[in-house]
């Protein structure tokens, strides 16, 4: 991550919004636009920031993080783009099927865990699929200040090339598109080789792509500080399990399709979060005791911490076994 996590109040501050546009972009991706319900301007944000959208799904709250993709200079409107995940736990399906213009929702204040390093002389963006969204806002931000950037964007097919037409039209010399179904691939070694000193690279996309960019840049001698990535992991469904929340004196059951964090919230217990994707460290929770196995999925804790069984990131990680007691 490129920026230190900011402290937030438990649950992060919320803003009431109205849905002002729902724009299907292709078979999988729809853009949602929001304006504040109180008519005020939104808080300022910088490219790479995300917000967490609360969905009220028949009384069940789902909270999903999405990158803000609108122009940071326009504080009348926030926009996100949501890729439908038919195999997921339902948040993106809820957005696609249930959210329409005029609906009222709540979103959190923006938080940026993937910000531009404005000291960089050049910014090279590498996007895979829906990973294009943070770069839409970063590009808008850099265009306002004549920033030096280029985008390399890999999509599965032309039909799923979200925002490709707009990007090519606006920035024909800075945008490079690669279609998997046409066997086009980003030639990363060559790309890295030709960059001026002081260039920073940013990658957002599938885990394989992120790992590939970090490994290739590292092998080419790029400093870690010049390579930025963002990957929010979606919590995975799993077998239900029971948890004792010691401080709150409550015992809860985590359902098959909810995360441990969501189950804690459903019990009315406040728990901090920022990313809800295993990246920011904000939800780190101490384990008081356990008899079973952790299914750690975050990339915040170290391997040693995972092995110790002393901590868990409840936004993405689960547990299987007889008993689990948390310091919450």
Give the residues lining the site for ligand FES (CB under 6 A): 273-276, 278-283, 298, 300, 313, 315
Paired sense of beta strands 122-128 and 199-204, if any: parallel
**Measured distance CA(43)–CA(3) in Å, rounded:** 19
Q: What are residue 18's DSSP bridge partners?
A: 35, 104
Whose Cβ is closer to ligand FES: residue 90's or residue 278's?
A: 278
Residue closer to ligand FES (CB basis): 91 or 161: 91
The secondary structure of the chain, three-state, reads CCCCCCCCCCCCCEEEEEEEEEEECCCCEEEEEEEECCCCCCCCCCCCEEEEEEEEECCEEEEEEEECCCCCCCCCCEEEEEECCCCCCCHHHHHHHHCCCCCEEEEECCEECCCCCCCCCEEEEEEEHHHHHHHHHHHHHHHHCCCCEEEEEEECCHHHCCCHHHHHHHCCCCEEEEEHHHCCCCCHHHHHHCCCCCEEEEEECCHHHHHHHHHHHHHCCCCHHHEEEECCCCCCCCCCEEEEECCCCEEEEECCCCCHHHHHHHCCCCCCCCCCCCCCCCCCEEEEEEEEEEECCCCCCCHHHHHHCCEECCCCCEEEEEEEEECC
Least separation in angstroms between residue 282's CB and ligand FES is 5
Nearer to ligand FES, 28 or 283 (CB): 283
Q: Round to whole Å and give the CA distance between 82 and 25.
A: 10
To ligand FES, the closest distance from the beta carbon of 274 in angstroms equals: 5
> CB of residue 298 vs ligand FES: minimum separation in angstroms?
6
Q: Of 192 and 243, which CB lies nearer to ligand FES in the complex structure?
A: 243
Nearer to ligand FES, 88 or 281 (CB): 281
Question: 111 or 186, CB closer to ligand FES?
Answer: 111
Nearer to ligand FES, 36 or 276 (CB): 276
C-alpha–C-alpha distance, residues 107 and 67, integer Å: 12
Write down the least CB distance from residue 275 to ligand FES, Å.
4
For ligand FES, give the closer residue by CB, 108 or 200.
108
CA atoms of 37 and 278, how far apart (whole Å): 30
- Closest separation in Å from C-beta 81 to ligand FES: 21
As measured in angstroms, the least distance from the Cβ of 300 to ligand FES is: 5
**Nearest approach, Cβ of residue 252 and ligand FES (Å):** 17
Nearest distance from C-beta of residue 326 to ligand FES, angstroms: 14
């Amino acid at each position: 991550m490129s920026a230190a996590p900011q402290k937030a109040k438990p649950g992060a501050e919320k803003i009431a919004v109205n849905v002002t546009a729902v724009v299907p972009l292709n078979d999988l991706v729809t853009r949602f636009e929001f304006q504040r319900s109180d008519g005020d301007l939104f808080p300022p944000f910088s490219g790479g920031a995300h917000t967490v959208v609360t969905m009220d799904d028949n009384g069940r709250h789902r909270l999903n993080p999405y990158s803000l993709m609108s122009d940071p200079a326009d504080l009348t409107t926030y926009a996100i783009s949501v890729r439908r995940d038919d195999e997921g736990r339902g948040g993106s399906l809820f957005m696609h099927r249930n959210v329409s213009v005029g609906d009222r929702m709540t979103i959190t204040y923006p938080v940026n865990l993937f910000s531009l390093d404005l000291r960089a002389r050049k910014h090279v963006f590498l996007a895979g699929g829906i990973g294009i969204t943070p770069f839409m806002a970063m590009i808008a931000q850099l265009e306002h200040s004549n920033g030096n950037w280029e985008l390399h964007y890999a999509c599965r097919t032309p039909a799923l090339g979200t925002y490709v037409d707009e990007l090519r039209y606006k920035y024909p010399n800075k945008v490079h598109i690669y279609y998997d179904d046409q066997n086009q691939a980003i030639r990363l070694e060559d790309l890295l080789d030709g960059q001026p000193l002081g260039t920073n690279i940013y990658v957002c996309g599938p885990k394989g792509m992120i790992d590939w960019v970090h490994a290739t840049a590292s092998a080419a001698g790029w400093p870690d500080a010049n390579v930025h990535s963002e990957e929010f992991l979606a919590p995975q469904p799993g077998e239900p399990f029971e948890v004792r929340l010691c401080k709150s004196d409550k015992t809860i059951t985590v359902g098959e399709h909810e995360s441990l964090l969501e189950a804690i919230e459903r019990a009315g217990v406040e728990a901090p979060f920022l990313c809800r994707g295993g990246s920011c460290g904000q939800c780190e929770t101490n384990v008081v005791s356990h008899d079973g196995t952790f299914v750690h999925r975050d990339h915040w804790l170290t391997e040693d911490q995972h092995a110790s069984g002393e901590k868990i990131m409840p936004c993405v990680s689960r547990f299987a076994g007889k008993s689990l007691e948390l310091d919450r």
